A and B are shown apart, each in its own frame.
Chain A
Amino acid sequence: MTDDAVTTRRLRVHRFKRGDHQPHIEEHDVPVDERTTVLEALRWIQLHQDLTLGLRHSCFHASCGTCGVRVNGKERLACVTKLSDISGTVTVDPLANLPVLHDVVVDMGPFVARYPEPHPIVRGSEFLSESRTADGIDEHERYEDCIECGLCLSACPVAATDDTYLGPAALAYAQRLLEEARGADRDAILDWADQDTGAWRCHAAFECTEACPSDVRPAQRIMALRKELRHRRKDRDLEVPERPSSASEASA
């Protein structure tokens, strides 16, 4: 909350505690100003009206990926979503396609479990490439853009009907590894992606790219991954799928 609150907004917040028969919506009127974010508004509810409201947050600047929610049905990082950019009533729901732990908190275990090994988090830096590195440093390293927030998986229509689908974040990450292997086994990564529950399951809806707050463009990366897989299958005289695989094929 900034120090010059000017107006009041109504938030409708998804509530659910383990043992409840079903979730319900609670409404709160929250003082806000031009800069107030959804996360700050939820924190205000927690501090001033209901200490038991469960929400995830950590960095407050779109770098950690913990505060993903759905705001009026759209996947958003609560920490960088200003209420002033949303008109009317604001409804906050937990991410989809992951188990709800409580209130707007989902269990990230099944999300993280989708990633292939190894799962390094730093990569070579491509920024300011005209600058040279300092003595003693071979290459500047920087964190991956993907912040593992799960927004892409929540927005994915395939993941909504098939929880075996590896999903956009993990597949996009695999494609990053192909671009910059960092010691990873290229063939093992391609084998991992080349399964019915992998790159072939994507229906190219591009909802993941739309939802991504870090410009990772998972859908485009899945397309690039498929291109590599097609070449590899042709080289090996294997059938190249003409259309996305379906859940029934995947389980068959």
Chain B
Amino acid sequence: MNGGAGSTPHILIVGGGGTGGALAHDLALRGARVTLVERGEFTSGTTGRHHGLLHSGARYAVNDQESAVECIEENMLLRRIAPGSFEENDGLFVGVTDEDMTYLPGFLAGCEETGIPTQVLQPDEALRLEPLLNPALKVAVRVPDATMDAMRMPLRFFATAKANGADLLSWVDVIDLELAAGVVSGARVRDLVTGRETRIGADLVVNATGPWSEQVARMAGVDVPIRPSPGVMLAVRGRLCNMVINRLHSSGDGDIVVPQRALSVIGTSSWVVEDPDDLGVPSDHVQRMIDEGSVLVPAVREAPYRSAWSAARPLIGSRDDADSGRELSRTFKTIDHAVDDGVEGFVTITGGKGTTLRGMAEVCADVVSRKLGIETACRTRDTVLLPHTAAFAA
């Protein structure tokens, strides 16, 4: 199945989350032959479990400006290429304590430096927009956050990739990568629908498995600097706000309430694990979501419980770095293992977040294209995506 000289190069993407889907879409538009394998349903790992925030970037405007710039650029771009996929509701950063107020000047300056539009609202104006906010608030800053459907928005990349000829295979588990003489040439896979094992040959394999990327890289005998960092989220019944409500302070537990359908999602905590599959939902974290979330929107405390769950972020940083994961950058990284480790035919894309899925794919597809001699440039910036339902078409 390997493409020989002169034929269309074949790329095998491992991982069917937002990153893998966006990469399949990007490479399919460039005319490459693409196969994507995912061991479960698409978006079943980290992508579908996130709180559904389309970041304005304001959360990172003070401490992680690289991520902030990525977020605001992709935020504006995704609204153009995926119309109808966002609740265009904006967000508020709400200051409640004197300490929050000391964060305000740096926050506004950071937003200005990174190109994130802001509007400062006095408490009475903020309460007119959002009646259930903590009435003791001191200030609110409006930013262009939005709510996205954490599954259906990414599925539009899968839908469009599929329509452009990409072979997208769910329920296919990678057992091992094929590595000989320092070259990765494909993967041994198990089809979970039939139970059969087979191999998929490729000119290049991309590891797009998020917090699992360390496990997959090990199959090629290389290491990636990833820390699986889970966070707990809590969904309560009732749409307590129309806008995304953030706490005006440096990142902390329970500092965001995202309205989603008739639910409100409160997030999140942050710690670090070895195994991204076995996360658990610590009870004290759930309680912290209620306690901290109700500082922003007091009704959180009385709202009926719907669900609590954990999702593992793929944060970039070595095991020697911070313990909580909060200090690690939310930006992303493409690693060409030929350069870093002397293993040819193998690239890892990791880090990042739901909001930056398209940008991550573009950077990675540029690296892949350079390696395989694909000359077509990225076209995802202005290709409007098909509806999510097209992902289910036969």
Contacts and interface: CB of A to CB of B under 8 A. Distances in A.
Interface of B: prevailing SS: loop
Given A3-B282, A120-B84, A63 B131 contact: no
Contact of A134 (B129, B147, B195): B129
Interface stretch (B148-156, B326-334, B344-352): B148-156
A64 B150 contact: yes
Interface in B98-121: 119
Contacts of A127: 239, 242, 259, 262
Contact of B309 (A18, A60, A128): A60
A86 to B, nearest CB: 17
A56 to B, nearest CB: 4
Contacts of A120: 84
Nearest to B89: A140
B193 A101 contact: yes
B130 A137 contact: no
B261 A52 contact: no
B278 A47 contact: yes
Query: What band does the interface of chain A fall in when counting residues whose beta carbon is under 8 Å from B?
Result: 35 or more
A63 B89 contact: no
Contacts of A122: 84-87
Interface string A140-160: 111111010000000000000
Interface string A64-86: 10100000000000011000000
B277 interface: yes
A60 B49 contact: yes
Given A128-B131, A131-B129, A58 B263 contact: no
Contacts of B49: 58-60
B308 interface: yes
B88 interface: yes
A48 B191 CA distance: 19
Interface residues of B, number: 63
A105 B282 CA distance: 29
A14 interface: no
B193 A61 contact: no
B62 to A, nearest CB: 23
Given A57-B40, A79-B307, A109-B393, A52 B265 contact: no
Nearest to A109: B392
Interface of A: 1-4, 17-19, 35, 37, 47, 51-52, 54-64, 66, 79-80, 101-102, 105, 108-109, 111-113, 115, 119-122, 125, 127-128, 130-135, 137, 140-145, 147, 214-215
8 contacts: A61-B235, A121-B152, A125-B87, A131-B131, A134-B90, A137-B88, A141-B86, A215-B262
Closest 4 CB pairs of A and B: A58-B48, A60-B309, A61-B307, A61-B235
Given A59-B49, A140-B89, A143-B147, 18 more contacts: A1-B281, A18-B194, A35-B281, A57-B44, A58-B44, A60-B311, A61-B307, A66-B44, A101-B171, A102-B193, A105-B171, A125-B242, A127-B239, A132-B128, A134-B243, A142-B239, A143-B149, A214-B262
